Structure 1
Amino acid sequence: MGPDFYAENGNELYDLLHGMEADIGNMLNFILPDWVPHPAALRLKEKKDRVGAIFSERLKERETHPEDWVEANEHISYTLNDHATAHLKDFYAAHHTLLMFAAHTSTVASISWTILELIKSPARFNSLRQDLLQDSNRQSSPHLQAFLKETGRCYSGISMLRLARQTIDVPTTDITIPMPPLYLYLLISLTMTLTFILTPINGSPSAG
């Protein structure tokens, strides 16, 4: 996005991203229309509005000092200078939110977490390195696969609850995913609703 975004709002954007991820995966967002003002929807709107405000602040700041960004080599400067995208700056916040989600949940994120954990454990890193040097078929190395699976277990890209709407047979397997009974939907919805009612929402009702 640019050094100004990272310096001024990097940590806040990171927290907003995780907050939006949690609220998007909320059960009530699956069963209620987006105009119903339940707690998760209100929190999500508050975070989306804040991301929009951050982008407005940073873009206005750039407009006051355009000379600082003449030769900038980053995505926002490129889109601001491209005639095909310059007029879409009101949508930059939504666009970059999608990009942040994509980066957070992609293979790149999984690789980054795996490398980070290996760096934190030199013994395991050296063990894996020796194993890969000796294995001619490195991509199918059980050692490497174990590390990747453990990364996926500890650092899931997206955390949300999904329930099958009908019984599903997984092709080429003997696995059947049953449709949960109606009372389970109701029980989960009631539990989550009570949880959100008891969770305070920070913000002014008059804002926006």
Structure 2
Amino acid sequence: MSALLDETEDVALNFGEEEEILASRRKYLKHPIAVTFHLTFRILALLTYLFCGLFSPSFITNFVLIMVLLSMDFWTVKNISGRLLVGLRWWNHVDDQGKSQWIFESRKGVDRKKISTLESNIFWIALVASQIIWVLYLIGSLFTLNLKWSMVACVGIGLNGANLYGFIQCKIGSKKKLSTAATNFLGQQVFQSIMSRRTTTRVEDI
């Protein structure tokens, strides 16, 4: 009898252990290198815009440096960190008829559950926060009538905003697909229920 109780206690202790392990993994960084580069290039671009006058008086030099950092950030987010950290990907391609098409993809099913919540939060906070900061830079340059630096801020808004818009479309598109699938399923169930009732009524009438 005591042996049976011991076995029952062991089973009870192990119940749900896999779910707890999965939940704990989602709280840690699974892709620290991707997170580092996701933050590094955008932070350097923002700081360079703010403090570049302290190191070089040349606008051309500072402009080129900021453009390089923004381009590296755009490419990294679009092709690496977006796919690894949040399971989203977007791109453009030209079909056989010469038409430009935008593709927005989202990781689904079991693979979606593997995404770290911490990494996802870092990804979205960095995208949104940097966009807000670039907008503030643009407003500040317009108030000081510094048109050269307002152009730099506009480029920052454009590149970061393109990624922000693309990944939002990926996320919204995946929810729309799920909603459409659920609606279609419910519609089919209602239709089958109505048809079965009609069939039953006809059989009873006969």
TM-score normalised to structure 2 length: 0.27
Q: Which has the higher strand share?
A: 2
- The TM-score, its normalising length taken from structure 1, stands at 0.27
